[in-house]
Structure 1
Amino acid sequence: MSDPMIVRACVAAPLKKVHEALTDPAALRVWLAEHAEVDPPDRYEFWGRYTPEGSAPHQRLLHLDERTVRFAWDLDGERTTTEFSLEEDGPDATIVSVSQTHFSFEEALAESSVRGVLMTYWCLALANLAEYIDGRPLTPKVDFTAPDLRASVLISATPQAVFESLVDSEAVTRWFGYPVEIDPVVGGRVAMGDGDGDGAKILELEPGAKLTIDWGSPGVSTWELADSDGKTRLTMIQSGFDGTRPPYASWAGSLSGLSELRRYHEIPNWAPIWRHSPTGAV
């Protein structure tokens, strides 16, 4: 088996408060899942629309202490293991790490197994944990029962400011947490990292109002912006894919990026929540 995937984020709260959010069923029902139950020593369950294979709970608690929550999770016929671990980052911040076995980038790219969604699923979950702790509105979760991939959020910034942060390479690289190069014209190229995404191109570009990018196999991403009393109502849509196999992995990644985009515009002295890990965080 390959090394576990690890995702790490900094949450602005003392370790004890973060631990409570990880173990209180009522809290889990807000930031993580539609349904959740926790009853040590063996019950740590979450399920529902926002959980992969969530028609019923498939987890079992393996270990729980003041800094660790570890549970088995049966997914697509495999017994995976997930672990939350906490470490203090000063008196008022906590680094939350999620370690997840049985994840592969190949499955994520091919959407060949539900386990392929795990990395971006946990990125979005940690983003919403940070929002929950901060008392901010949560980012929409992935509905694994629906083929309609659409989400809408309100951002405390003007449509022009938000649009610029979607097409300026330096700005996107900052809030997305991964190198992105954008040629902001219709037909312009969008590339990620060292050329990944060479085939992606801009289909529509209306300053302050709309951006559409064709990514190829994951489909087409559209951002629609509208003024809402000086703020921006941003609607994100993914389309152009096989409706019987929605690209939930890439959609979860887009939603976790949307969370950081909101923070980028709304948090004074903004800094990314993500911390370096062996497999990256977004």
Structure 2
Amino acid sequence: MAVTTPVRAVLDAGSKLGEGVVWDAARQIVWFVDIKQHRLWHFDPANGSNAMAVAPGQIGWALPAEGGLLLCGLQDGLYTFDPTSQRFDKLMDVPGEPAGNRLNDACTDPWGRVWFGSMDDSEQQASGRFYVFDRGNIRAAGPGGITITNGPAVSPSGDRIYFTDTTAQKIMVADLSRDGVGEARPFADTGALFPDAYPDGPVVDAEDHVWTGLYLGSHVARFSPDGELVDQIEMPARDITKMGFGGPDLRTAYVTTATKNMEEADMQQYPLAGSLFAFDAPVAGFAAAAVKLG
């Protein structure tokens, strides 16, 4: 069902490829990235203040980590970012990644591990796959052979993990535990529901429902734990990339958007595209664990 709720633009970021929106509970701010313009943004909803740091390459995501740092996924590997000094420091490469790949999206699980995906930067080759960063070690985990990966997203209890194959228009799910991840199986065929749109960044809410941005689809969609479409919310932008829950009660949905594939006529139709948007969510998110670096 379509849900009508006021959606507001909270930051005119001018993003080419906004992504990776995440709530920083310790600082009470939102972090998100603009991959193509190498930007790491933060936004303070209490007073509207914001600032941007320039990363040393395409930055797919930034997650709050222990010690007040952020762990970031860039094109050439993992970096830490210190918000105080504004320094990016290379932490490690991702073993075996082709030179033409980059990192795209990520999340933490309840144990402080980071699940992330890689993809062909030209969006042509099925060279992307998923990994887990576990206290300084990286290993392949989850599906491979994907052109554009998105997610992963982990359930509140950590018993399920969702992987998105954007070009195939499908979301997969696998069982998850502290000991490892199971075989991915079909969860939702978004192509059957939204044939002209592509599932982008997913997130799970406190009721174990999965939300996804719809690239070329102008909506975010919500799926039940059984993969049934239950809600969709129209957005004032065409290319919706990622949603995250924030605010003190985790009841505000923040949404990133993109403009990199939009023509002038598209921008006239969606003049707010590239902004960070927010709306009052019908359900809360849940508090994500900070990254354990070692």
Please state which band the TM-score falls in when normalised by the shorter chain: under 0.3
Higher strand share: 2
Output the TM-score relative to the length of structure 2: 0.26
Find the structure with the greater CA-based Rg.
1
So what's the TM-score if we normalise by structure 1?
A: 0.26
Bigger helix fraction: 1
